[in-house]
Structure 1
Amino acid sequence: MKIGILKTGHAPDIVRDSLGDYDAMFARLLDGHGFEFAPYDVVDGVFPDGAQAADGWLVTGSKHGVYEDHPWIAPLEALIREIRDAGRPLVGVCFGHQIIAQALGGEVVKHPDGWRVGATQYQIDGRPLTLNAWHQDQVVTAPPGAEVVGRAEGCEIAALRYGPNIFTVQPHPEFDATMMDRLIEHRAIGVVPDPLRDHARALLDTPTDSAAMAGTLADILMKGGRHG
């Protein structure tokens, strides 16, 4: 099965040599499910020919905001709607969660309560899961027909399910402790308030449920096998 990875940003230089870019992180997260991955740097204007170019799709995180005026935002939203209309599986993480919601009629804002960073307790599909958070923006209004299936303290729309083929989450199952450490030490300075940085640093060794979330994402993506 071919999974198209729509890269809406790039991993920081400080981690790219050791961890790779975002497509490499997701390839590791979803290893063992028989997927073949095809990355598209949509953040740089590189798009697939259309929804039929892959059996399933994944939208990554990004340092950008979905409400910002970038030339690739509108084409990405159009592609998301095309994927939905074609019935292809689609998953989104962090920015991916937000841009899918915005493209399908939801609302995303820079949340007035500020940043969420580090290992965080979520309730997703009725299960308690610990996953790494790294965001200030949030979905504040779910699109019509979307079911809110994930929440956390301070993040009321942490996961959305759109029927059987689309599932999105705000936290980052692809971020391991090394990635979080690099973000805390290099990207958070002057951006994330110091008390939140210190709190996230203290939680670096917290075990996460990334494998469980990987299974959920893989289950959605494997529905694309019927198109193969």
Structure 2
Amino acid sequence: MTEKAERSLLFISMLGENVLFNPDHFGGLCSSGQEKDWIVDWFGPVAQETGFSLSGVDICRGDALPAVDDVDCVILGGTMHVVTEDRPWLRALYAWLRQYRDAGKPLLGICGGHQLVSTQFEDGVLDGRAGGTLAGTYEIELTELGRQHPLFEGLSTSPRFNFANYLHVIPSDAQKAKVLARIGESSAICIDHGNHWYTTQFHPESRRSVWSCMYEQTEPEHVGNYSDDQDGADLIRNFMKIASKELNEQRPVTLSP
């Protein structure tokens, strides 16, 4: 009998430095209160089902990024910082992602990750939302491309996701043809950047409990806008399935005894 060899799936947390993100407020999600750990707890099993071993690093707290050659797939989390800030960990992340992009491996960028890829690696523009912060669980509108895209396979025609953003991406002309979804004034909340790099302004990796911890002490009026009736986990699973298929086509795994 043989078992499927596992590939490395890395979750990169950049949620925030201490001045913005206090893990003590998130202790109900995991013992450390750190995003990298609750994500591994929540999505480790589905990663294994799709042939990955999931691990996490927190680059805001000094964790080093592994060598690009040691990573097969990446989920890049959101951030309380702005992706244009001049911070050492952001500069290091940009350099690492350029090497990773050149390696041709899959990536899912979330919220700040969406903004980073869309504006720092491509020609989208980062701008403030005229309507202010979008915080809650909302239906999105899939484009024609989005309705046919494997990232949304098995989801409803109006899937629901968690949002928490006051900035959004204004797509360039080139990006408009690659947009998979929109909501209200935000016309590019999911983009297929090619070569199996996808980004979402919404937070498919999150649960309502995250936002309760996030907002209960600062902006409690947002907490009631969130629901666990949302499709984030299914999108994460779809991404892992896409990535696994692509990697197997590029470099078939060797089965171990």
* Same fold, TM-score > 0.5, yes or no: yes
TM-score for the superposition, normalised by structure 2: 0.75
- Rounded to whole Å, the distance in 2 between the matches of 1:203 and 1:113 is 16
Unaligned runs of 5+ in 2: 1-6, 148-156
* 1:58-77 paired onto structure 2 within 5 Å: 58-77=75-94
Q: What number of residue pairs does the alignment pair up?
A: 219
- Rounded to whole Å, the distance in 2 between the matches of 1:86 and 1:208 is 33
**Are 2:88 and 1:99 equivalent residues in the alignment?**
no
Shift of 1:206: 5.7
- Change over 3 Å in CA distance of 1:83–1:8 after alignment to 2: same
Aligned to 1:36: 53
- Rounded to whole Å, the distance in 2 between the matches of 1:68 and 1:110 is 15
Q: Single out whichever of 137-146 and 99-108 deviates more from structure 2.
A: 137-146
- Rounded to whole Å, the distance in 2 between the matches of 1:103 and 1:219 is 27
Q: Single out whichever of 180-189 and 108-117 deviates more from structure 2.
A: 180-189
Please tell me whether the aligned partners of residues 25 and 175 of structure 1 are also in contact (alpha carbons under 8 angstroms). Answer: no
Q: Single out whichever of 210-219 and 94-103 deviates more from structure 2.
A: 210-219
- Change over 3 Å in CA distance of 1:13–1:45 after alignment to 2: closer
Please tell me whether the aligned partners of residues 129 and 209 of structure 1 are also in contact (alpha carbons under 8 angstroms). Answer: yes
Give the SS at the match of 1:134: strand
- Rounded to whole Å, the distance in 1 between the matches of 2:37 and 2:63 is 17
CA RMSD of aligned residues (A): 2.4
- Identical positions, percent: 20
Unaligned runs of 5+ in 1: 190-196
Per-residue displacement from partner, 1:130-179 (whole Å, max 9, x unpaired)? 11101112111348567111111132110010224111111112221222
Shift of 1:14: 4.6
Per-residue displacement from partner, 1:1-40 (whole Å, max 9, x unpaired)? 1112221125643553221322234331463231212322
**Are 2:35 and 1:22 equivalent residues in the alignment?**
yes
Give 1:78's match in structure 2, choosing from 95, 102, 119. 95
Q: Single out whichever of 85-94 and 216-225 deviates more from structure 2.
A: 216-225
When Rg is computed on C-alpha atoms for both structures, the one with the higher figure is: 2
